[in-house]
Structure 1
Amino acid sequence: MDLKSVLSLVEVENVEYVDFRIVDLLGRQHHVTIPAYAVDEDTFTNGVAFDGSSLIGYKGIEESDMVALPDPSSAFLDPFVEAKTLNIVCNIYNPDGTPYARDPRGIALKAEAYLEQLGIATSAYFGPESEFFLFDHVRYASGPTGSFFHIDSEEAYWNTGKEGKNLGYKVANKGGYFPVQPTDSQADIRNEMCSLLTQAGLKVERHHHEVATAGQGEINFRFDTLTRTADNLLLFKYIVRNVAAKHGKTATFMPKPIVGDNGSGMHVHQSLFQGDTPLFYEKGGYANLSEMALHYIGGILYHAPALIALTNPSTNSFKRLVPGYEAPVNLVFSKGNRSAAVRIPVAAVTPKASRIEFRTPDSTANPYLAFAAMLMAGLDGIKRKLDPRELGYGPLDKNIYDLSPAEKTDIKSAPGSLSEALTALENDSDFLLEGDVFIREVIDAWIERKRSEIQQVERTVNPKEYELYYDL
């Protein structure tokens, strides 16, 4: 959709408000709403002013004036606001008209421009599988006199003995893949989410209940170019959360909200194209992959410890990244093997669908930064011809979790904590700086923020510590 189409839509649909959206360093969206009668071509040329000092990772109060410049191609009608509202994603600019170097969306756009500049491909396509939970109730608190969290779901296995009206049909621990109704109690809600996603312009491919109990679900939407997919992922989370709220439920994309059951990941499918020609396919190669694809994998796995600081950027991420829960902590690649960090899908794959799947990430990532970083790692692998076979990253076509300790000796592992991942990023970030895609200031700000989060978690007294140590 171009500018003229947007202004025409406002008129034809009798839009009352236009909602302009930006994203902070961590990946949370923010918005400012303007009456439609005050929005014209000048709004798209001059942008919307806002205070950058009030957003995480932006500017200090002494230089806080910033401009949100709307991207008309991102416009969609908001299905949740009573007054008809058009939502538009914006890029961030300085008052002098230059792009703001810390803008996450701007970084994603620079990564795509760098790809074309190298002449390796014209497009990078990304397709995330973002899992989530729908709970009926959530309470949490953290303070000097106590800390706790409590969640509940009508379909959770722990409610089999719940008093009052109880119809059974609970989802067993790790038993949620993928039963029919009435055990799957949320099919209608996911249908509604899919309908609204389609209305907003996303191409939904399928949805289903996921492995965990207590309302874990997954909705897959069609891949797109890097920045557009990041836009779509934020739109996806917006629609999932608001439909859940409409039904009296709450949605979370936390990687590990339940102890002892599967967590929520965000497997990211990736491929490169030259025009309409897929560059990752070569008939007869390993899993029908081209040498370029293998080098891309080499870059992903070589830089994985640093990447994980951006793709799994929460302390909670590392409660999911443990062996035994289909969490890919092993830095190897394999065809059709879900225990590997990089999986090569082989079922019903055409040349144009030839792709690699990085299974480690989760949805606490800022998608603009995470996708841009993955592309930069893959491009570094292509430029340096990093062969994952020579570097000891496989292929390993076995269930890695069933290997003996001796067989696992040479398998490299993902960092065991956010702190380890941040240290890896400190030591390996030059590949992100190529083409001025990322700047050192952004990486330093990210590391500083995340170390602050680690410190907050480590200094908070945990209820488990009372269980372990109170009577010693």
Structure 2
Amino acid sequence: MTPKEVLALCRREEIKAVDLRFMDFPGTQKHFTIPVKALTEESFEDGFGFDASSMRGWQAINESDMLVVPQPETAMVDPFMKNTLAMTCNIQDPITREAYAKDPRNVARKAEAYMASTGIADIANFGPEAEFFIFDRVWFDQNEHEAYYHVDSAEGQWNRGKTPDGHSGGFQIRHKEGYFPMPPSDTLQDLRTDIMLTLQDCGVNIEGQHHEVATGGQCEVDMRYGSLLTTADNLLRYKYIVKNVAARHGKAATFMPKPLWNDNGSGLHLHFSLWKNEETLFAGSGYGGLSELAIYAMGGILRHAPALFAFCCPTTNSYKRFIPGFEAPINLTYSFRNRSAAIRIPVHNSSPASKRFEFRCPDASCNPYLAMSAVLMAALDGIQNRIDPGMPLDKDIYDLSAEELDVFPKVPESLDVSLQALREDHDFLLRGDVFTEDVIDTWIWFKQTHEVQALRERPHPWEFAMYFDA
């Protein structure tokens, strides 16, 4: 939509308030609200001021003033707020009017512009499969004298034989048998349909919804692919709607990658392809029906994967997914059909336009603007430098011996390791000024100080079980 069309929408829908939203640096959506009469055509150029020093990883107190500039193409009538229109915003410096380097959405815009400048492609399509858990109840806390968490789900295997909140006992989902169960075992069918329909009403194209493998409420609602910026915008909308529909049903949704021990975690599998002049660049006669260009793109992603993990798997909890036997990749390999590889080439459709590969490592705790921009930059580097991804792995990784697996590089074992890899390997991200040294340095500093070190300092509940009687 244009600014005029947004204002017409406000009149037609009797909008009273406008919610201005943006993504902070670590990846949490923020907002503030103005009366609709404050929104004019000039607002889409002039923006609205806010205090950026209160945002994590952004401005110092002596240079705190920044602008949010609403983007009319992101406008939607909010399904949860009364008479409210919501828009995603870009961040600008109020003096120079330049786009802010640490605005994640700006990074994504620059990544798309850099791709176009190379002449390699004009569209990078991403199709995200975002997994999440919906729990009935959640409690957690951490302070000087205690640390605990407790989650509960009527369909969780640990509730077999019980009847919490009147739930019919005996239909709980067995361990690792949560994929496609029928009601009454699947207690979340109507909730997921509510999510799917709300997303569609808000302009997000959806391909389907289903229960996922884990017990205790693991779900997936699949979005249709789109360009990098559009998909990242839609992922913000997606997480907002999932959490609020769950809350409306009296439940709690989380995109935390590994909330349950000894069960599957939640990923953000990214289906990726490059296009030019409305034609795919990935269809060919090579391995898995891919083109040479697509093979090199895989090579770039696998070569830079340890550094990519710092953006794609950006929490300490992310690395608890990468355990053998739980479907998350543990080796940096690629394969035709094999879901245990870091990159999988789907085979369910032979159409050239469907040719793509799936990067299975990311999770939905990531900042999607930064994560997908980094993946695109790695793929472009692979194409520019003709990086060979090595031999594919067409066997079940979990059936191979340790000696056979030693030839394949492993995924990073912790966020600390990924951040070190990013520190040593980020030149490919700096091209076209997409990421800057300041963005990289701030990201590493923030994650090391506020997450890695914070966790390192605190006793873990399992340490009491192992060491209290030492």
Show the counterpart of 1:84. Answer: 83
Amino acid at match of 2:84: T
1:163 Cα deviation from its structure 2 partner: 5.5
Residues 258-269 of structure 1: pairs in structure 2 closer than 5 A: 258-269=260-271
Deviation per CA, 1:62-102: give whole Å up to 9, x if none. Answer: 00000011110011110001x21110000000012111111
Residues 187-266 of structure 1: pairs in structure 2 closer than 5 A: 187-266=189-268
Deviation per CA, 1:403-425: give whole Å up to 9, x if none. Answer: 01121120111111111111100
State the alpha-carbon separation in 2 of the partners of residues 436 and 163 from structure 1.
57
Bigger drift between 298-307 and 10-19 goes to: 10-19
Show the counterpart of 1:385. Answer: 386
State the alpha-carbon separation in 2 of the partners of residues 191 and 132 from structure 1.
15
Bigger drift between 243-252 and 28-37 goes to: 28-37
Show the counterpart of 1:47. Answer: 47
Deviation per CA, 1:195-248: give whole Å up to 9, x if none. Answer: 110011111101100000000000001011001100000100000000000000
Residues 287-302 of structure 1: pairs in structure 2 closer than 5 A: 287-302=288-303
State the alpha-carbon separation in 2 of the partners of residues 408 and 444 from structure 1.
34
Q: Residue 439 of structure 2 is aligned with which of 438, 442, 448?
A: 442
Show the counterpart of 1:341. Answer: 342
State the alpha-carbon separation in 1 of the partners of residues 393 and 236 from structure 2.
34
1:353 Cα deviation from its structure 2 partner: 1.1
State the alpha-carbon separation in 1 of the partners of residues 200 and 276 from structure 2.
28
State the alpha-carbon separation in 2 of the partners of residues 18 and 145 from structure 1.
43
Amino acid at match of 2:394: D
**2:143 aligned with 1:146, yes or no?**
no
After TM superposition, the score normalised by the length of structure 2 is 0.98
The 3 A distance-change label for structure 1 pair 210 and 387 is same
1:45 Cα deviation from its structure 2 partner: 1.2
Amino acid at match of 2:379: G
Amino acid at match of 1:309: A
Q: Is the 8 A contact 2:15 2:85 kept in 1?
A: yes
Q: Is the 8 A contact 2:136 2:152 kept in 1?
A: yes
State the alpha-carbon separation in 1 of the partners of residues 331 and 27 from structure 2.
27
State the alpha-carbon separation in 1 of the partners of residues 147 and 324 from structure 2.
28
Q: Secondary structure at the match of 1:214?
A: coil
Q: Secondary structure at the match of 2:402?
A: coil
State the alpha-carbon separation in 2 of the partners of residues 243 and 207 from structure 1.
14
Q: Secondary structure at the match of 1:375?
A: helix
Residues 443-462 of structure 1: pairs in structure 2 closer than 5 A: 443-452=440-449, 453-462=451-460
Q: Secondary structure at the match of 1:132?
A: strand
1:13 Cα deviation from its structure 2 partner: 1.0
1:177 Cα deviation from its structure 2 partner: 0.5
Show the counterpart of 1:328. Answer: 329
- Can you give the 5+ residue segments of structure 1 that lack an aligned partner in the other structure? none
Q: Residue 463 of structure 2 is aligned with which of 451, 462, 465?
A: 465
State the alpha-carbon separation in 2 of the partners of residues 249 and 30 from structure 1.
22
Q: Secondary structure at the match of 1:326?
A: coil
Show the counterpart of 1:366. Answer: 367
Q: Secondary structure at the match of 1:261?
A: coil
Structure 1 stretches of 4+ moved >2 Å = 161-166
1:347 Cα deviation from its structure 2 partner: 1.0
**2:413 aligned with 1:416, yes or no?**
yes
State the alpha-carbon separation in 2 of the partners of residues 79 and 223 from structure 1.
23
1:182 Cα deviation from its structure 2 partner: 1.0
1:161 Cα deviation from its structure 2 partner: 3.1
State the alpha-carbon separation in 1 of the partners of residues 225 and 3 from structure 2.
24
Show the counterpart of 1:398. Answer: 395
The 3 A distance-change label for structure 1 pair 295 and 87 is same
Q: Secondary structure at the match of 1:330?
A: coil
State the alpha-carbon separation in 2 of the partners of residues 103 and 331 from structure 1.
30
Q: Is the 8 A contact 2:141 2:149 kept in 1?
A: yes
State the alpha-carbon separation in 1 of the partners of residues 94 and 167 from structure 2.
60
1:431 Cα deviation from its structure 2 partner: 0.4
Q: Secondary structure at the match of 2:347?
A: coil
1:162 Cα deviation from its structure 2 partner: 2.4
State the alpha-carbon separation in 1 of the partners of residues 325 and 436 from structure 2.
37
1:321 Cα deviation from its structure 2 partner: 1.4
Q: Secondary structure at the match of 1:175?
A: coil
Deviation per CA, 1:128-147: give whole Å up to 9, x if none. Answer: 11100000100011111110
State the alpha-carbon separation in 2 of the partners of residues 228 and 179 from structure 1.
32
State the alpha-carbon separation in 2 of the partners of residues 90 and 178 from structure 1.
38
**2:272 aligned with 1:270, yes or no?**
yes
State the alpha-carbon separation in 1 of the partners of residues 160 and 410 from structure 2.
38
**2:173 aligned with 1:171, yes or no?**
yes
- Can you give the 5+ residue segments of structure 2 that lack an aligned partner in the other structure? none
State the alpha-carbon separation in 2 of the partners of residues 323 and 246 from structure 1.
36
State the alpha-carbon separation in 1 of the partners of residues 333 and 375 from structure 2.
16
1:349 Cα deviation from its structure 2 partner: 3.8
After TM superposition, the score normalised by the length of structure 1 is 0.98
CA RMSD of aligned residues (A): 0.9
State the alpha-carbon separation in 1 of the partners of residues 313 and 376 from structure 2.
16
Bigger drift between 432-441 and 2-11 goes to: 2-11
Deviation per CA, 1:281-304: give whole Å up to 9, x if none. Answer: 01x321110000000000000000
State the alpha-carbon separation in 2 of the partners of residues 456 and 329 from structure 1.
26
Q: Secondary structure at the match of 1:340?
A: coil
Q: Percent identity?
A: 50
1:166 Cα deviation from its structure 2 partner: 4.7
Q: Secondary structure at the match of 1:58?
A: coil
Show the counterpart of 2:287. Answer: 286
The 3 A distance-change label for structure 1 pair 267 and 41 is same
Q: Secondary structure at the match of 1:32?
A: strand
Amino acid at match of 1:347: H
1:381 Cα deviation from its structure 2 partner: 0.3
State the alpha-carbon separation in 1 of the partners of residues 462 and 407 from structure 2.
34
Q: Is the 8 A contact 2:154 2:167 kept in 1?
A: no
Show the counterpart of 1:74. Answer: 74
Q: Is the 8 A contact 2:319 2:415 kept in 1?
A: yes
State the alpha-carbon separation in 2 of the partners of residues 349 and 40 from structure 1.
49
Q: Residue 426 of structure 2 is aligned with which of 419, 426, 429?
A: 429
Deviation per CA, 1:366-411: give whole Å up to 9, x if none. Answer: 000000000000000000010112xxxx211111111011211201
